[in-house]
Every structure is written in structure tokens, then in C-alpha cells.
């Protein structure tokens, strides 16, 4: 069963945004198209995209629930209409933080093949490290945007962004949750983000450890692994004492390949990216892919890897969510962690 993020649309008015450095022009295009519509118009766009994701899951005949933290804060007419359209149900997450009710991907990272569950300590507190035959741990990589994984293979960033927006190296202690689990892990460079204003003016550079904003790791029908990487990715080399130097794209690509090769992962890059976060896609347990419409280059590459019948697209491009909520499809959807939660 899948969990879909809470259909709640607050805090859409803002003066500053951020995006992966290579995707800023895409974000500015979206901003120019819809920002003048005001808060009500932005909410309508978000609802339209949310509905498109839910409809796509319904058309794929996937079992899912909409996360609900507080029914009184939701737009009841929107929920009623959506439930009438696709017959969906709600799953109660009363008392949980909005960071995981809006974006269930950041609630936990699930490895069914090794029966390992990593939970985000900012989303839940554990009382046991074992549940039946599952290994269950609190981990920074329970915040699922920080980890790309499929089967028993995972990619993580070489640094972790802390709550105060500073970063530190990913250290051996962070990796202890993987020891003895059969999960193979590779560390790859983080990417550079930048802020920008309503006028499109570029602000400060920063770093981001949610790798699903610039890549996806998927398994094809022959069990081969594939990383699709944003061809505009910017990364840096850390020199110490807070100093760093920018890398050329080819250097970044070579580093990714050097990490992925020993893990049996083939690295791909589409010709270009035409929709923000278009690589923030979902692969279901039966290998099918759900991704945004509007990006023929990414779509063609994914179909080449998976086969056309395994790829589904939303009826509308998912553009407003990346801009106003810093989220794509993968951020909004996650497996129900049945090792610690009851199926409803």
C-alpha cells in the first residue's frame, strides 16, 4: 500500500525560492506563468497537480491512502470531490509533523528485499530495533529524500545538511544501519542549489542533500540498475575550512560513474530537463514508473530503459509543487511501512 502526502496547501505566498542550480531557468519560467495569479490561483494549481498524481495512481490500480493529520485543516470539498472521482481513503497521521505528513517519502526508507526499515528520527521515535523479522533503525537516511535506493542498493550524499543549513561529511557512524543488512551503499557528491527572487534575480548558493531532486535510481525488468542523472547538475569539491571549488559537469559525471560502476549501476543522462524535478519519479513494487508529463527527453530515456508499457505519466505537468513546495512525485508518495504501522 502507498501513502500519498496530505492534501493541504498552506504557505504558498513567498518572496524567495530555491532550485538546483542547473534548473533555475525552468523554475523561473513556472514562476512567471503563475505567480501573478495570487494565492488562490497558486492553490488551484497545486490542487490540480495533486489530483493528477492521485488519478494516475488510481489508473495504475495501485492501492493507496491519503495521509491526514487533521481533518479540520483540509479542504473538505476538495477531498470529497477527489474521493468521489477515484474512491480513495484517508489514513490517520494525527500528531505527526507536517514534514512527514505532507511528504511521506521523508517518513522512512524501506528495503523490502533485506527487510530493513530506516525511520526518520524527526518523524517518529522507536522503542525497538526489531519488529517481527524486520530490522528497524532510526537514521538520517530515514529522511527518504536523502537516499536513492532500489532492491538492496543505495546511493547517499557525501555530506549531510544539518538543521541550521550547515553541512558535514557523511561519516562511518551514519552507515552503521547498513552493516550486516546486505545493502550496498555508495556515496556521491551533493549538488549545488541557489535561491532566487520573484523577479528571477539569483541569490546565494547553497547545498542540498535530497538527491531525488536531481536523479532517480530504478530497476529494470531484467533486474539491472540504472541511475538517471540531471545533465545540468552542479557539484563542488570541499577543500576544508569551509572552502570549496566548483566542478565541471564531466568531472561530476565521472565521480558518479566511479561510485556507481562497482555497484552495478549504469549511469544515464537525458539530453535535457524540461520540467522541474522531472527525475523525482516513483517506481512501484512491480517496477512500474510514474513520472510527470511534459518532459519528452526524460520520458524517452525512461521508456528506453523500462519499456513503454511500464511507464505512466500524469495528465498535467507537475511544475507548481517543485516551485512552491520543493517537492515532486517521489516526495509525495511512499510505501506504507507495515513493519511499524497497521494497514487500514
What is the rounded distance in angstroms from the CA atom of residue 200 to the CA atom of residue 272? Answer: 21
Predicted pLDDT at 165: 66
pLDDT at residue number 244: 80
Which phi and psi angles does 313 have, rounded to 5°? -125, 155
Backbone angles phi, psi at 15, to 5 degrees: -105, -15
Half-sphere exposure in the Cβ direction for 335 (13 Å, CA): 19
Q: From CA 19, how far away is CA 232, in angstroms rounded?
A: 12
Q: What's phi and psi for 154, nearest 5 deg?
A: -140, 150
Tell me the mean pLDDT per 10 residues along the chain, length 344: 91 81 93 81 94 97 93 88 90 86 94 93 68 86 96 95 80 93 95 87 86 97 97 87 83 96 98 97 97 98 97 97 95 90 67
Q: Give DSSP secondary structure letters for 91-129.
A: EE-TT--HHHHS-GGGTEEEEGGGTEEEE-TTT---S-S
State residue 203's pLDDT score.
83
Distance in angstroms (rounded) separating the CA atoms of residues 338 and 174: 24
Handedness of CA 157, 163, 165, 167 (dihedral sign): negative
CATH: 3.75.10, 1.10.3470, 3.30.70, 3.40.50. Which one for 2-335? 3.75.10
Amino acid at each position: 500500500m502507498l501513502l500519498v502526502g496530505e492534501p493541504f496547501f498552506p504557505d504558498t505566498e513567498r518572496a524567495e525560492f530555491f532550485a538546483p542550480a542547473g534548473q533555475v531557468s525552468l523554475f523561473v519560467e513556472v514562476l512567471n506563468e503563475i505567480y501573478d495569479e495570487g494565492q488562490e490561483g497558486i492553490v488551484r494549481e497545486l490542487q490540480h497537480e495533486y489530483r493528477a498524481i492521485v488519478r494516475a495512481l488510481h489508473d495504475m490500480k495501485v492501492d493507496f491512502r491519503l495521509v491526514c493529520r487533521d481533518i479540520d485543516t483540509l479542504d473538505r470539498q476538495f477531498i470529497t470531490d477527489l474521493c468521489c472521482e477515484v474512491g480513495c481513503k484517508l489514513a490517520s497521521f494525527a500528531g505527526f509533523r507536517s514534514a512527514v505528513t505532507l511528504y511521506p517519502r521523508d517518513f522512512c526508507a524501506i528495503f523490502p528485499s533485506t527487510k530493513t526499515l530506516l525511520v526518520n528520527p524527526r518523524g517518529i521515535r522507536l522503542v525497538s530495533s526489531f519488529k517481527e523479522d524486520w530490522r528497524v533503525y532510526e537514521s538520517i537516511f530515514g529522511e527518504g529524500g536523502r537516499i536513492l535506493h532500489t532492491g538492496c542498493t543505495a546511493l547517499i550524499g557525501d555530506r549531510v545538511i544539518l538543521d541550521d543549513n550547515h553541512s558535514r561529511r557523511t561519516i562511518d557512524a551514519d552507515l552503521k544501519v547498513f552493516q550486516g543488512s546486505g545493502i550496498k551503499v555508495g556515496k556521491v557528491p551533493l549538488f549545488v542549489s541557489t535561491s532566487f527572487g520573484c523577479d528571477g534575480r539569483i541569490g546565494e548558493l547553497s547545498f542540498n542533500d535530497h538527491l531525488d531532486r536531481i536523479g532517480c535510481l530504478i530497476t529494470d525488468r531484467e533486474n539491472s540498475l540504472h541511475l538517471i542523472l540531471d545533465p545540468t547538475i552542479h557539484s563542488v569539491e570541499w577543500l576544508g575550512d569551509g572552502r570549496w571549488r566548483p566542478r565541471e559537469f564531466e568531472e561530476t559525471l565521472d565521480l558518479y560513474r566511479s561510485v556507481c560502476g562497482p555497484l552495478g549501476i549504469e549511469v544515464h543522462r537525458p539530453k535535457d530537463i524540461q520540467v522541474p524535478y522531472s527525475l523525482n519519479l516513483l517506481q512501484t513494487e512491480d517496477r512500474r514508473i510514474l513520472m510527470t508529463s511534459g518532459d519528452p527527453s526524460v520520458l524517452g530515456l525512461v521508456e528506453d530503459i523500462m519499456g513503454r508499457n511500464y511507464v505512466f505519466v500524469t495528465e498535467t505537468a507537475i511544475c507548481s509543487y517543485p516551485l512552491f513546495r520543493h517537492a515532486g512525485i517521489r516526495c509525495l508518495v511512499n510505501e506504507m511501512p507495515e513493519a511499524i504501522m497497521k494497514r487500514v
